[in-house]
């Protein structure tokens, strides 16, 4: 079982995909969805959240789409995941002394460690891994 939610994995994959493919033109949600076998409408809310967070920039029009909003080295996986799924504990309402005194602090510490590690992985790092793996992994981020 992965600690990273499906939405978090998809958000990271979307940003890396866009960083790899938006060299000469923005990446359309339709092309992105095709590469990840998803309906475009499934991706749009996630992509818009990433735009609002300043991770992606959206461009309208017939040749519109998405591009990274800033240098790939300055976008961490932790920032992407926080944008996509939130901290995971913000909406938790403790209901017992055990949960409040022991469980929540322990989980908060584990979450901080997790996000500290994610914060050390940049989109540029993952793009470099894509470039290295392209020959070994057939179909890896090929244009749709």
For residue range 57-105, list pLDDT tens digits in order. Answer: 999 988 889 999 999 999 999 899 888 875 343 444 445 666 667 766 8
Q: What is the C-alpha separation between 77 and 123, in angstroms, rounded?
A: 7
Residue pair 16/122 in contact (Cβ under 8 Å)? The answer is no
Give the percent of the chain with pLDDT over 70: 85
User: Shortest CA distance to 83 belongs to which of 105, 50, 114?
Assistant: 50
Q: Which CATH class is domain 6-87+122-133?
A: mainly alpha
Q: What is the C-alpha separation between 39 and 109, in angstroms, rounded?
A: 36
Residue ranges of the domains in the chain? 6-87+122-133
Residue 97's pLDDT is 65
User: Shortest CA distance to 47 belongs to which of 131, 124, 144, 39?
Assistant: 39
């Amino acid at each position: 079982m992965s600690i990273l939610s499906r939405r978090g994995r998809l958000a990271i994959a979307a940003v890396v995909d866009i960083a790899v493919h938006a060299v000469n033109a923005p990446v359309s949600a339709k092309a992105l969805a095709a590469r990840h076998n998803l309906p475009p409408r499934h991706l749009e809310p996630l992509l818009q959240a990433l735009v609002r967070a300043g991770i992606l920039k959206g461009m309208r029009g017939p040749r519109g789409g998405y591009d990274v909003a800033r240098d790939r080295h300055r976008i961490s996986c932790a920032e992407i995941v926080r944008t996509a799924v939130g901290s995971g504990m913000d909406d938790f309402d403790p209901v017992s002394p055990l949960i409040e005194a022991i469980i929540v602090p322990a989980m908060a510490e584990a979450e901080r460690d997790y996000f500290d590690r994610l914060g050390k992985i940049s989109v540029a790092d993952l793009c470099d891994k894509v470039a290295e793996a392209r020959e070994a992994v057939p179909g890896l981020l090929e244009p749709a």
